[in-house]
Amino acid sequence: MSTATPISRVNDFVVRFANVNGSGSASANEMFARAVMRMGIPVAPRNIFPSNIQGLPTWYEVRISEADHLGARGGTDLMVAMNPQTFDKDIASIEPGGTLFYDSTKPLPASKFRQDISVVGVPLTAICNREYTDPRQRQLFKNIVYIGALCALIEMDVTVVEQLIGEQYKGKDKLIAPNIKALHIGRDYALLNLECPLSLRLKKCDKVGNRILIEGNNAAALGAVYGGATVCAWYPITPSSSVADSFTRHCAKFRVDPDTQKAKYAIVQAEDELASIGMVIGAGWNGARAFTATSGPGISLMQEFIGLSYFAEIPAVIFDVQRAGPSTGMPTRTQQCDIISCAYASHGDTKHVLLFPEDPTESFEFGAQAFDLADRLQTTIFVMLDLDIGMNHHLSQPFVWDDSRAYDRGKVMTAEELEAGKEFGRYLDVDGDGIPYRTYPGTHPTKGSFFTRGTSRDRYARYTEEAGPYVDNMQRLVRKFDTAKDLVPRPLQANAAKPTKYGVLYFGSTAPPMNEAIHMIEARGHSLDRMRIRAFPFHSSVNSFVADHDFVFVVEQNRDAQMRSLIVNECGIDPVRLVPILHYDGTPITARFIAKTIGDHLEALKVKPQKVNS
Amino acid sequence: MTYLAKPKFQHPDLPKNELGYTHRDYEGSVSTLCAGCGHDSITASIIQACFELSIEPHRVAKISGIGCSSKTPTYFLGNSHGFNSVHGRMPSVLTGANLANRDLIYLGVSGDGDSASIGFGQFAHALRRGVNMTYIVENNGVYGLTKGQFSATADRGSKSKRGVTNTDNSIDLAAMALQLGASFVARSFSGDKQQLVPIIRAAIAHEGAAFIDIISPCVAFNNHAGSTKSFDFVREHNESVNRLDFISSRMPIEVQYEPGTVEIVEQHDGSRLALRKLQADYDVHDRTAAQGFLQQHAAKGQIVTGLLYMDKTPSDLHAHLHTVDVPLNVLDAKDLCPGQATLDKVNASLR
């Protein structure tokens, strides 16, 4: 019997499935998460997986939160321990008063368990061996059997799961009945042999609304479709590959000419990242909207071309799905660690536009907007996702598109304008915003052609190594970057109920845990204004936010406080006023971590208001 | 490399092509390469070929990498857009440009350093994808701009200007192109305009990946005794398999050829090539035989030139990707954006 009081909660707990990868658990676990959503309860599933295809440990964490806290929480209330390799560690990670669910076919000694948790055993292997003869079926149905048992244990609506099975195997209808049978085998066993329900349970509610459950990579790819991307060149790399995969799938559905069955898109799997960005730049130069998707190591390889895009002023879009670095790092773990390598990518003086979506909804929106910005600014636009946003399903606001929206193709001089005698200088700043006009190749027989190069040139694209024209051009590029400040998504600010001297800056996937942490920090008696940065270059309101507070915390998921460095550098801020809050172990940052770290700092500030140790 | 505009003056009686353009309309700015550089002869041959083909100059996109050869696109087709990209990456930039607009003519200009060393991978992959282009390597066996280091096409045993012997094996880009599936492969010599101009014309008319390896001696760093890329060496060891006459589709064949010595090859665009055989049993449509022929002659120290291989029915990357007939860069929101109604369905499928 458990020595701790069992955790008793409705619609507010964390279930963690410990599996072996390649065992078919992923689809069963996803069905579990989706069933919670269908019951109207907000849910946040996260896949924790190795860089491997078969045989290594994998976990699937489902946070259930009627209060709508969708960031990772930390800790596990109900552990579904299906992997003998990680059994001991998994048990150790259960919260006191939590529950262990395990396969009790082979009896385990009491020493294997903890005194402060409840233990629920279902002889899954024995049941499956009895019911099925095919070894593959025994394995696959085991996943459904445990979902069935959980239906009884936490009062998950079994009809919802049946419906999901029907949807999942639509078209392979003969698989529906056996799966439903397996579901009921598990459920019946639990109802007959176990004390149901547990003190952790679900209850139907209506807190999901019209939200959708989708991965950020899939959403970003859909954004690229809506944003008018026609050329995608990419090289496989975790965790970004599903951007190109999803784009391929969406295009096959939405971009095939109904009359000719021909493709209104071109997707090339390149030989490496250098070739993929090269193709994107070639296509952008020639007037198509083009993108690539990659991760940190790919960004490193693309540096030279990114500098060319900056200096020769060619539109390009890069989706960077960040993973833990440096080097190969942890390919299947999340971080926000490419901020500096993207912001200042390539040799020489360069600066690049970065967009920071917080979730799939913004991945879609920024994914589409990036193409307008790339054409308008004639440069590379980075959409900075991370593994947590990109590869996990997130409960998100539904996608919206304004059908009257036209694409902004930027300053492109036409054959008619050239014919009418309009002056064309490729690098001439006619409007004072630093953005010159360009022409697409093949526009006019005698006017408007120019030579594109990465070498220095004058306003009419003629090669020069003279100091004056070089500086003139570099200054114009700075002006153009200033223009970008008002074109990119603005930061969003939310002030505390009471006036406060303290603020917090954060971005990207830190948003959901930050939203939760703010309540926890308030509960500790502190007030904190917050601002979510959504793009670089920083809007002037970032400067004023820092100026308006004595100290501002900068929360980010890397070791070296890269965003803080960027703010200090670009906004000319005294570094002492920006307190870094850093989480970089490869797991998504949690509300518990933020609340504790910031709370401790604020308490220290109360004691010594003149100094801060960071 | 300074920008030098050419004077606009031209003789009123200069011959005009079908579009009414003169030779001068296909020129670019004045070359800043060394006097006597083989690359300038190639530039002249490109100008000649484009003039003869009556191409609208602005419908060509000329793309290059980095190096002496990659500088040359400024010296021809001044009314075309050009793109001097980064070292060894011309093929990817050209591939992307081609995907964006299938209606232009793509001329990729590279060198042996650019294509056989730093860009060897991109060279290979652009050819195996069948990008519709004319890919020219101006091959001199040395790095000219950095003053005479060996390149990967320098033959083993050949000597640098400073007397150093090259101990590395060389890469034969034409042989590689054959192996990689290029649908048009030729080798020529910058000093043989008679052979080179028709080859360039045929390559431009070819609707697939056309590769031309042009031996182009470097007068500054690789034209000495002991070099296998010098004018003298190439002239002495040139083993030409055929000579081409390019016949545009509109012209009747006027020249009478000896029966059996000439093969008339119809190209996909309707133009025809009269192929005068210099090697009786050389079959220009047999890829495998061409590979063997190159190897046997290379072993004898001979440089095989001419049209080495041509696929009569080539296909290209756009055909493989099944893209629409109009250039992708003219499609707008109406063509590309599925709209809110579709998005509603997408949203519904995600609940």
Q: What is the domain-level CATH number for residue B87? A: 3.40.50.970
Contacts of B318 in chain A (CB under 8 A): 266
* B187 within domain boundaries: yes
Q: What would the two tokens of residue B266 be?
A: 């119809």
Is B236 among the domain residues?
yes
In this predicted structure, the answer to whether residue A202 has a pLDDT above a threshold of 50 is yes
Q: Mind telling me how many Å the CA of B334 is from chain A's nearest CA?
A: 9
CB B155 within 8 A of CB B211: no
Instruction: Report yes or no on B13 lying in a domain.
Output: no
Furthest-apart CA atoms within chain B: distance in Å: 76
- Interface A-B, measured as beta-carbon pairs within 8 A, has a size of 236
The shortest C-alpha distance from B187 to chain A (Å) reads 26
Q: Which CATH topology does A492-607 take?
A: Rossmann fold (3.40.50)
A326 upstream amide cis, omega within 30 of 0: yes
Cα–Cα distance, A392 to A564 (Å, whole number): 26
* CA-based nearest residue in chain A for residue B342: A254
A462 neighbourhood in chain B, CB within 8 Å: 3
Task: For residues B16-28, give the mean pLDDT.
Answer: 94
Inter-chain touch B61–A213, beta carbons under 8 Å: no
Mean pLDDT value across residues A211-231:
98
Predicted local distance difference test score (pLDDT) of residue B2: 45
pLDDT tops 70 at residue B249: no
* B6, part of any domain: no
**Residue B345: inside a domain:** no
Phi-psi region of B340 (alpha: psi -120 to 50; beta: other; left: phi over 0): alpha
What pLDDT does residue B254 have? Answer: 56
**In angstroms, what separates the C-alpha of A118 from chain B's closest C-alpha?**
33
Rounding to the nearest 10 degrees, give the CA dihedral for residues B334, B338, B340, B343. -170
Does residue B1 surpass a pLDDT of 50? no
CB–CB of B99 and A282 under 8 A?
Answer: yes
Asked, for residue B349, whether it belongs to a domain, the answer is: no
Instruction: Tell me which residue in B73, B324, B331 faces A260 most closely, judged by beta carbons.
Output: B324
Tell me if B233 sits within 8 A of B245, measured CB to CB.
Answer: no
- Does B311 reside within a domain? yes
Distance CA B33, CA B299 (A): 33
| Averaged pLDDT for residues B147-165 | 94
Confidence of residue B258 (pLDDT cuts 50, 70, 90): low
CATH fold of A9-201, please? Pyruvate-ferredoxin Oxidoreductase; domain 3 (3.40.920)
Start-end of CATH 3.40.50.970 domains in chain A: 214-396
Distance, in Å, from the CA atom of B58 to the CA atom of B26, rounded to the nearest integer, reads: 10
What is the domain extent for residue B310? 23-334
Architecture of domain A214-396: 3-Layer(aba) Sandwich (3.40)
Residue B254 domain-assigned (yes or no):
yes
Strand A43-48 vs strand A9-10: parallel, antiparallel, or unpaired?
unpaired
Is pLDDT at A110 greater than 90 in this prediction?
no
User: Residue A107 has what pLDDT?
Assistant: 84
Q: Is there a contact between B67 and B111 (Cβ–Cβ < 8 Å)?
A: yes
- Percent of chain A exceeding pLDDT 70 equals 98
CB B90 within 8 A of CB B65: yes
Q: Which region among A52-61, A345-354, B184-193 has the lowest average model confidence (pLDDT)?
A: A52-61
Return the half-sphere exposure (C-beta side, CA atoms, 13 A cut-off) of residue A225.
29
Number of domains in chain B: 1
Which residue of A214, A228, A284 is in closest CB contact with B337?
A228
> What is the widest separation between alpha-carbon atoms in chain A?
89
Instruction: Tell the residue number behind the tokens 């499935």, with chain if given.
Output: A17
